[in-house]
Amino acid sequence: MRQLTDIELQEIRKAIMRKEISSAEILMEVYDHYISHLQEFSEEEFNEQLFELEQKFTYAYCHALQAKFNKEIRKELSSLQWQVLKKYFCFSKILYVIIFSFLAFQMSRFVTDQKEIAILMLSPLLILAGAHIFFLIKSHFRIKAIKKDFNTAGSLQSSLSYPFSEKLYLPGMMAYGIMWSAEWIFNSNPIANLAPSIAVIIFIILSIYVLTLLEVWQIKSKTALV
């Protein structure tokens, strides 16, 4: 095994850049594969071996690999969040959920007007908004170094970035729906009396969603580029 020269490394980066990979994870895995393989060969064999690699990692192959990976990531995030959620209802944690729900219901007794109900319902979204900003900044800095190495300002980003952002936007969309129908819910007589209870249920669901999502992010940030 030998150390590749700067010119050789530059050649590898150029070859990989031509594939227009947008997933940072795939790009780094292909790059590591190229280097690990080419380090096994002498300088004289470099071009021939690089050509061989190019026959295996074609543009079409890399894009198919990337598309499959992005699809798998979505599945993985959902299943991970579901696993985390299930843990909340296991014997050791259920007590915390019950106490939290009890306190939330107690809090709802002090809610009197429509504005307070809206604040109660949507307060978990503030944590989500803060987490999203932190997520974007952290992801940006992790990808920045790779972008610099490959001398690209293009659309390179972690494959987890889009699915994660979608999951972060989802309760926002839900909140919009709630606000849109709030007037109807809280002004129609039979439901108006139940408004604080409905609000607290939405608050608990949103809080659990936010907490599970943050836990998933914490798990994935150890192993991915986010």
Partner 1 sequence: MSNNNLIKGSLQTIILKLLEENDRMYGYEITQKVKELTEGEIKITEGALYPALHKLEAEGMLTTEIEQVDNRVRKYYSLTKDGQKEVSAKMSELQSFVGNLQRILDPEWKPGLA
Q: Is 203 in the site for partner 1 (CB under 8 A)?
A: no
Could you tell me which stretch among 62-70, 91-99, 114-122, 197-205 binds partner 1 (CB under 8 A)?
62-70
CA dist 144 and 142 (Å) reads 6
Of 65, 50, 40, the residue nearest 10 (C-alpha): 50
> Closer CB to partner 1, residue 56 or residue 115?
56
- Show the binding pattern over residues 128-157: x = contacts partner 1 (CB under 8 A), - = does not: ------------------x--x--------
Closest CA to 193 of 100, 98, 109: 109
**Residue among 17, 50, 65, 205 that touches partner 1 (CB under 8 A):** 65
Contacts for 210 with CB less than 8 Å, ≥ 6 apart: 124, 125, 127, 128, 131, 171
Q: Position 119: which residue type?
A: I
Nearer to partner 1, 20 or 54 (CB): 54
Please report whether residue 51 would count as binding partner 1 according to CB under 8 A: no
Q: Tell me if 57 contacts partner 1 by CB under 8 A.
A: yes
**Dist CA 15 CA 19 (whole Å):** 7
Which segment (26-34, 132-140, 168-176, 184-192) binds partner 1 by CB under 8 A? 26-34
Specify which residues 157 forms β-bridges with: 23
Residue 41: both structure tokens together: 């060969």
CB of 216 vs partner 1, minimal distance in Å:
13
**Selected binder of partner 1 within 33, 63, 132, 138 (CB under 8 A):** 33
By CB under 8 A, how many residues form the interface with partner 1? 29
Q: Is 217 in the site for partner 1 (CB under 8 A)?
A: no
State the alpha helices, DSSP H only, in the chain: 6-17, 24-38, 46-56, 59-88, 91-108, 114-149, 161-187, 189-192, 195-221
Applying CB under 8 A, which residues contact partner 1? Answer: 3, 25, 28-29, 31-33, 35-37, 56-57, 61, 65, 68-69, 72-73, 75-76, 79-80, 83, 146, 149, 222-225
